[in-house]
Structure 1
Amino acid sequence: MAGRERNDIEIRDDEEGPGAIVSFPFDAAAVERFREAFPRARWNDDLAAWRIPGTTAMLRTARWLDHELPSAFGLADQRGRDSFSFDPIVSRYLEVADEFVVRTPYSRTVVEELRAVPWAWWNGEDKAWHVPYRSVDELRRRWPVIEAAAERSEPDARRQRRDAAKSAPEYEDIKATEAERRRRRYPVPASELPPLDRVLMSHEGPLVVLEVTGEVVPAETAARHYTWSSGQPDDLVWALWRRPTHDELVKTWPARHPAAVSALLRGWWQPTLEELRIARRAARSLERAQETRRTSQSSRD
């Protein structure tokens, strides 16, 4: 952020929570109008930008800036049109209208990539992403990944992968592993039980333990699906778990130091800040994808 040009206009998702990160050329009158329009906005010195909370912050801010800075956007859109004319994106997933319209089969990768494109927004009415011309360079940079993910999500491609997987030698092992993960259970040492209802890190990622059943984990199951437990001298018992929400991850206090060997051996530990950041991004991406799917379903209904 510190190295950007002073006249840049930028808006992007806030990785720390629902909201937007916004920067625009300094103008005292514009800042005053901005504060009136977004009373919950807060200036962040580290980002050198405004942080606006809210699930609709991206769209609301884009509309406000579009109204406040039309000349800057007009020039940027015209440059984008010129760039697209010189180097067009040719794809069955892209329509060219007043904006770019991207319509693909559902793919989490597509959602993540398009959310990272400045000014892109999801239109639930026509079940498509809209991207202004001013964002053509970033859209073009991400397009190979978007198109590849969309093609992988086509029904025929999914069917072919399923058929190919069934003929693979390791198919039964994969099925068994997936079935085990769906049980939402995790082995923990009987002598070092984890705390309940608290965000922890594990060899399966972040989790919240709901209950310790006391049922002993069969040695064969532990060896097959939880290889990290092979050095555990204590008896293992099952703990039932769920994934933490993004809000829970944001509120979790990080450990000062990485997990010790003993903590890794027992299978659970307090997450570090870096582990929490990764988990927050993943949880937020998942929650957004779920919201996009719900919006799309509501539009169809």
Structure 2
Amino acid sequence: MPGTTAVKRLDAWMGQELETLDRHADEKGRDAFVFEPLKSPYLTVAEDLRVRTPYSRTIVEALRAIPWAHWDRDERVWRVPFRSYEELKARWPEIEEAARRNEPEARKQRREEQKAHASEDAGRIHAERRRRRYPVRSHDLPPLGLPLMTASWGVVVFEAIDVDPVADLSAAGLYSHVQGDTSLYVWAHWRMPTLEEIYRTKPPQGEERSVGEPARAWWWASREELQDRARKLREVERAQRSRQTARQASSRV
């Protein structure tokens, strides 16, 4: 059919024109690269530009946004034609930074730093816990002698409250409920409740903390929170009895 032949000729002509345009664009991009080259261990030059980096979602998204860039599954490398050099150059700082961050040594160093930071934080928290103190607002003091729930230490019993405001700002920073002016807070001193105190305590009706309530230093413990503390206290008692039995058996040997 004459119409079909004409369409085929038109398609062939358009293909040739597009190929010519692409070739010119690649030549222009190659000239731009020669004039202002990117130098990086993550970039090699062949008939096109080839990007090989450690895996990073940031890099994948950046390269996908570059026209005509594609992933070569066989070579395991991103291939970018020279016609897209300007787009690649514009995104290269982001790509190279992400590549360096995802090098095995860099990732290992970050993991070690995170572990060291977590260990340091754990040490500070443990040291603070041994001081058996807790910041509470001076206008919202907890009752003494009763098992109450706290955000940091679980169910405890407060025994005394300081008159002077909190002055140790670094320690106050360990408590998520401390907000704003620390002079509004005082130290309340606590101890662990006994099992008898837990069993004797009944949560006041309507006094439990509700979901979405603003951060508060303390609140009346719910039945579930009291039961959880009682379970942990029983575990501690069993562990202490086991250690005592083992010591007695060892002393008789």
Q: TM-score range by the shorter chain?
A: 0.3 to 0.5
Larger Cα-atom Rg:
2
TM-score (norm 2): 0.48
TM-score (norm 1): 0.41
**Structure with the largest fraction of helix:** 2
